[in-house]
Each structure stands twice: as structure tokens, then as C-alpha cells.
Amino acid sequence: MTERLELFFALLAVVLLATSIATSIAKGTGMVTGSGVLRAIAPYRYQIAAAIAATSMVGSLYFSEVAHFVPCTLCWYQRIAMYSLAVILTLATFRSDDIRIYGAVLAGLGMTLSGYHWLIERLPAIDANVCSATMPCDFVWFEKFGFVTLPFMAFAGFAAILNLMLLRVDA
């Protein structure tokens, strides 16, 4: 079961990151087809971002609590950002509060942490001694497609949420 979920979440992360890159390009170039899609999804950006954050949260809880993958220090910091996003984005779907700045800041911080964490997995020498000796941040629980690991999946989730928070309703 765990191996199937690893593959499922890895595929989800790749699709999510590819979609984020495509929408960023569409926003940046003002492509007609892209802008039509962006206009269509803009009013639902909180709901989509909340679904991404909640899915990420459920995935991280599965891997730690069911599969028993022990989180390292950087994993905990990423969880703080993602779990907070899951709460505030879910609340934003039911209220008319504009929380884009809060969502963007949390997603940007989480994206930076997870990107750094993914790099530590590739280049352990760049670790700035943030991780413990008992659970080092360069330990890879699993890897799919030669590059998708838990920090990569978090990076894809944060990137997608950041992209949605920067999307204007009148896009």
C-alpha cells in the first residue's frame, strides 16, 4: 500500500509542478488560452489551494503515522507551513477574507525550505547543521522517477499554492 501511495503522490507532485509552471508562463506571457483558463480558475483559487494543502497534509500524516517515516527537522518546519496553509485556506473558502498575502508568505517560506531540503538530499555538504544526527535531512525515504522525494512533493505543493495566491481574480 505504501509503495502505491508513494507513486500516487509522486505523480500528483509532478503534475502539480508542471501545471504551476504552465500557469506561470501563461500569466507571464499573457497567452490567450492560458488567460482564459486563469480567469476561469481565479475565483476558486482558495478552494483549489485548500485542496492542495489538505492533500499534502494527509499525505504527510500517512507517511509519518502509518508508514512510520520519521520526519527530520526541516520536514517539521515544512509541516508547520503546510498545516497552517490547510487551516487558513480552508477558512478562506467559507469566508470573504482576502488572505492572499498570508498564503503567499507561508507558501513562499515553505517552498524555500522544501527546495533547500531537496538540495540537501542531493548535496549533503550544503547542510547548515539544521538537522539532527538521529534523523538527518539528507536521508531519503523513497525516490520516484529519479528525483521525486518527500521534500520535492512539498515543494510542488507550495509552488502551486503560491501560484494560486498570486493569481488575480481579474486575471
pLDDT tens per residue, range 44-87: 999 999 999 999 999 999 999 999 999 999 999 999 999 999 99
DSSP per residue over 62-84, as a string? IIIIIS-----HHHHHHHHHHHH
Least Cα distance to 161 among 113, 102, 74 occurs for: 102
Q: What is the 3-state secondary structure (H, E, C) of 91-142?
A: HHHHCCCCCHHHHHHHHHHHHHHHHHHHHHHHCHHHCCCCCCCCCCCCCCCC
DSSP per residue over 37-55, as a string? HHHHHGGGHHHHHHHHHHH
Is a pLDDT exceeding 50 seen at residue 132?
yes
Residue 67's pLDDT is 97
Residue 111 one-letter amino acid: M
Residues 162, 165, 170, 171: what is their CA dihedral angle, to the nearest 10 degrees?
Answer: 10
Residue 31's pLDDT is 63
Model confidence, pTM: 0.92
Main-chain phi, psi angles of 112, to 5 degrees? -65, -45
Q: Considering only residues 112 and 134, tell me which one the structure prediction assigns the higher pLDDT.
A: 112
Angle among Cα 137, 143, 147 to the nearest 5 degrees reads 90
Residue 134's pLDDT is 84
Is a pLDDT exceeding 90 seen at residue 96?
no
Q: Considering only residues 59 and 41, tell me which one the structure prediction assigns the higher pLDDT.
A: 59
Residue 171's pLDDT is 45
In which residue are the cell numbers 531519503 written? 140
Residues 81, 83, 84, 89: what is their CA dihedral angle, to the nearest 10 degrees?
Answer: 120
